[in-house]
Amino acid sequence: MSVQETFVMVKPDGLAKGLVGQILCEIGRCNLTVIESVRIRLSRCVAQEIYLGEEKEIYFDDIISWITSNPVLFIKVIGDDAVGKIKWKIIGRYPSGLRGQYSESWIKNIAHAPDSESSALREIELVNQILEGKTKMNENKLKNKMVFALTGMSECGKSTVGRYFYSKGIPRLKFVKLFGRIRDKISPNQDLKQFVLEQENKDPFHLWDIFIEELILEMESKGVNIVSIESLYGGGLGPYLKQQLKDHFCIIYIEASEELRLQYQIKREGLESTEAAKKILLPRDEIKKASGIPELKEIAGEIIHNTRSLQDLYEAVDQVIAKHK
């Protein structure tokens, strides 16, 4: 097998049915990697280019009208035998794959994917043009802006670093509060954790794009170009923000030994022993490990080692600010 690039175009009916999360799960199960994504309302010209060579088919006008009627989502993918896995295993032929489960007709059939390596190469050129346009648009929105996202294991010192950012005139934001504002606009009576989980299961890219918009609005309302935001949870959000915001986004992973974190736990809770602290800290560590927090270290732009000395910690933060500001 060879490493190939291809893509999935989730059609309007696939988006309406909340199938993006399921498609992403299937991509992961096939050991493929998402490179980029973009949501866009296609012009007829671009749509016709995607279906080049099918102009004489009876369904051609109908499919062009359908995929230009509402936004579609392009998900660019790479991996071993990516073309075949996406087209035949994930999207599938009737009655197999997602099409077999969810299609309404030959037109409203969930998603499109190239059927050969040559067609993938041709169609990816079109996708790349769309992605470049989104990058330029993001650059305009993010001009002169910088976002530091703090993460790490329990009691590693994220809040201490966040407070120090604030003391330097850099506002301290919270992921949970920004997601709360999104929830209040969409489903105000829903439990926040359940809301985020439900939205990510349906279409994580849509939720995360709204999050980016909310983040930029918050920065503009505060009249600032640089913020810190905590605490970044595991999973796909961190990689997605890094992918979309590029040089305007930096994950800071705060690393501290278990011994030091236990000491912080004792102080925070007013505990009398290390064993009592372990009963609180270690189960929380397992939850964070399961959620993918340690993997964020691998894509972090900066790793700050919290070694007990506040002065050393603050100097490390100063160096990060100077490097990225």
pLDDT value of residue 52: 87
Contact 260, 309 (CB under 8 A): no
Contact 90, 97 (CB under 8 A): yes
> Do both 38 and 128 map to the same domain?
yes
CATH number at residue 18: 3.30.70.141
Q: Name the stretches of the chain with pLDDT < 50.
A: none
> Do both 150 and 288 map to the same domain?
yes
Q: Domain range for residue 153?
A: 144-324
* Catalytic center residues: 112
pLDDT value of residue 95: 77
- What separation in angstroms does the CA of 143 have from each of 38, 40, 82, 281? 20, 22, 35, 40
Number of domains making up the chain: 2
> Do both 243 and 154 map to the same domain?
yes
pLDDT value of residue 1: 67
> Do both 128 and 211 map to the same domain?
no
> Do both 157 and 255 map to the same domain?
yes
> Do both 69 and 185 map to the same domain?
no
pLDDT value of residue 224: 96
Q: Which of 123, 96, 127 is nearest to 110 (CA)?
A: 96
Q: What is the pTM for the complete model shown?
A: 0.90
> Do both 20 and 88 map to the same domain?
yes
Of 84, 105, 137, the last residue of a domain is 137
pLDDT value of residue 148: 98
